[in-house]
Structure 1
Amino acid sequence: MANEQARHLRRNLTEAERKLWTYLREKKADGFHFRRQCPIGPYIADFLCYAAKLIIEVDGGQHGMEDGLEHDRQRTAWLEANGYRVIRFWNNDVLGNIEGVVEMVEIALTKEDFS
């Protein structure tokens, strides 16, 4: 079921996810292969680099609502407890400041502990 949902999400990326994916797929040349909409336990990560144990989430407005915030806290806690680092960007940051987002991703890829 998660695999079917992940396939659906891969085929239907948001505009912000599509824009970030254009950058992330080029990181393969640097040894950082990203997967998009990748199932991990009970969740599906927007983008995952296994080599760096890094998950990148691109969030829309629903993540700013109380229910979304709580779900994201639980999700991040589970992912971190399983050895992953999670960084989040708002859709509008990806769409309006891709250079800054890319810089933060670069920092996260080169640091072992990103906070």
Structure 2
Amino acid sequence: MKLHDAVRNIRSRSHRLNFEQLNELESLGFLWDKVGQTFACRADAWKVYRTVYKSKDVPAEFVVPTNHKVWPIRMWGLPLGRVVHSIRSKPSRLTLQQLAYLHNLGLLPKDLINVIG
């Protein structure tokens, strides 16, 4: 069985796991919500970019640099420019809560949320 299949099985059958198994997976850093974690990483990267470059406008070709102390390892190599472009051009792919979160961070204008909501 491939690793991604095993992970999918664990996530889909988590209700069958006992307390000890759940605790062990938690202690290993198991990601229960991959989509939520992916969004959080991308939003965090956008926040770091804004802090470092003093702008929320990310050039389309920007990729998070590797081996740079400002950027956490989990963000290295992230094509942040493409991510931001995708969010702005197709906001309907995000939930209203995700859009509101980005708006509250000052990364998205409210009118973008109103189009969806």
TM-score range, shorter chain: under 0.3
Q: Which has the higher helix share?
A: 2
State the TM-score, normalized to the length of structure 1: 0.23
Higher-Rg structure is 2
* Higher relative contact order, structure no. (Cα contacts within 8 Å, ≥ 6 residues apart): 1
